[in-house]
Structure 1
Amino acid sequence: MLAGKRILLIIGGGIAAFKSLDLIRRLRERGATVVPVLTKAAEEFVTPLSASALSAEKVYRDLFDLTDEAEMGHIELSRAADLVVVAPATADLMGKMAGGLANDLASTLLMATDKPVLIAPAMNVRMWQHPATQRNIATLKEDGILFVGPNEGNMACGEFGLGRMAEPLEIVAAVEAAIADGPLRGKHMLVTSGPTHEPIDPVRYIANRSSGAQGTAIATALSALGAEVTFVTGPADVARPQGVRVVEVQTAREMLAAVQAALPADGAVFAAAVADWRMAKAVDMKIKKDGKGSLPVLEFAENPDILATVSQMKKGRPALVVGFAAETDDVVKNATAKRKRKGCDWIVANDVSPETGIMGGAENAVVVITSDGVEEWPRMGKDQVATRLAAAMVQALE
């Protein structure tokens, strides 16, 4: 997928810079040309010689290098690439990008480029959580900057948390998605996935057995076809897809808010298993037994219907809205009624009875219900279901 592609790799100054050397190797294995740019701080962690040896390309370092300007000026350098990757993207670099600063070669290239930019943040967990960093992240996302990571884990400083740079193969996947020249190039797709957790008290919640595997596979398949994907997920078990914008939520109301914030979209797939009810009033202390055998009374309220809300939008509705129906009996009948009731274009229905092993399993057996009728697909892996569904969506959106 990367054969013939040119990647401008800006290496920021952080301990994670050592991973960028492996990233160069991984990208070149896939046929990409990688042109490294080192910040002054990056040279404290990796040498220009090592980056040049691995990339087999000249390494650029100085904004005011007269030789470099004569051979290829920074403006041309920034535009000769198919994609600009910043890995690691430090808090300082992200701040410069968000503020429009251009006081060194790296920041000037980022200001001058007319190509997509993908960043892999890496910093201390407190720096990542700092309000200034979070403001910068919001600004960069609004500007169309693509993100991969950060991940959670142990850090070189001895702390644990969110801030580790994504692994090289994760970044490669995000690069492939970012420059995919597929039939969904230029389209924005929205996917929801996983369960929602509706709190009863601080330690208990209402949920279901959804693993999030099918929604994750759909997001990955759509991204592979060139789409820009916003992935809104509840607390699912599976790893998040790479190369897409991930929005983490807990409750149905949070998921609805995230979906509305992500619109407009060309297409939307609602694969999340959203809890139908929540506690009318969750308590802030653990509910305890009274020792007399009496049972607590739980009062429920109905959650918002995310699929129906989007399907019935008067303005800004996605051109194609796909819902999911998890049934345990009369699958086609119930799902057909659900499609009409919700107002969506397609319903992907499946039998999630315990004996099928589908909910939480690796395979799925679905029935796709549209205005044209009912199409039953054979049982197959969830990745295969996702690939087939994504291909069908391409045809519908042409």
Structure 2
Amino acid sequence: MTEVRQGIRAVLAGTVDYESGLDALAVAGSAEVDPELMAAKEEACKRLWRGGWQPAELHRVVARRGRPRQADLVIDAVAAQLRRFPRATVDGRWLAQADALGARIWWTGDATYIDELAARWRLDRVAVLDLVLGLLVILATLPRIEVLVPPPGSAAAPDDRPGAVGSSRIDARLLDRVRALLAKAESTTFPAEAEAYTAKAQELITRHSLDEALLAARSGDPTPVVPYARRIGVDHPHEKEKASLLDAVARANRCHTVSSPELAFSTVFGFDTDIDAVDLLYTSLLVQAHRAMARAEPPGGKAGRSRLKAFRQSFLVAFAVRIDERLAGAAQLALAQATGRGDATMTDPAELLPVLASRDEQIRETMRRVFPHTVRARASRVDSREGWESGRQAADRAALPTDTTRGR
């Protein structure tokens, strides 16, 4: 083992302080230091890919714990990982995240990567060494998590047969229609129009979800659709309040969540049709919440900074609580409308309700397997009455599914 490699490992193990380790790298020759840093970075990222981390998740947690440039280093690590495997053999979800991050090989060679970074970012060499070594320290602290998407090199790309674990059951054309409707709901300045767009989007997904549940139950397929999990990023600030909003949306769509605030995500458990609905609706409601909060919040400035912080937290608490109330009512109404008329177009409740109960128990069992030990989170404090009242009013105006039977 080279002296440089020993020095890097000593810093990561905490037996050598960070500044001393950085100084040692700075005075050593680049021909010795750069390959060892690149190898350490590759080894750390491979460990995390195999340990369940996905590109977007690793990028998000590094951006939170470190500096923006260190998150950019993660993007390069994603590109380096993909370079080793044909795209056809990589899971589509992994590829989609890599593409969304803009991961690509821009450097000419691994041996010159550090120097090329310095030129690209207009930094001196020591500053780049600091960024890379600091990234290694962050990566060393991250734990293994559940493998939800196989990383490149660990498995063939999944097939699209019905029932394949994790395969989406929503037709791509339907998803395009839903996304278009939600985009219109977010862009309009008229609450009634936004509600109509979002209601129609939820209508499409809800009917499809109920139909898919019955179809799966009736099929007798030896490889039935199974519960799945998806991690959804919850960004700061106000992670707890955003996680509460996500949980409200999840429960209304027959899913369950476990929040991991220290890792910047919540894990949503359910069937893919329903998780897709949660992801889309949560994202749209978050946009609506931030837009309404910006319109209602008091002026900031140094004197009002504390007041503004309390307002925003209280606003999001109230928004999540009221959305929870509205979604719970909407979900009950949707089920009643789907089963309550008794005509030929309706679903027999004696057939549907046991199916939904069985699926819920499957979801809970999957959640218990992945997270055998969980604790109930403490409720957020409300320190601003102004924020609380504004948040509830915004939630009352937010576009939600109010009719899941129109247009059938």
* TM-score (normalised: structure 1): 0.23
Higher relative contact order (CA 8 A, sep 6+): 2
Q: Answer 1 or 2: which has greater helix percent.
A: 2
* TM-score (normalised: structure 2): 0.23
Q: Answer 1 or 2: which has greater strand percent.
A: 1
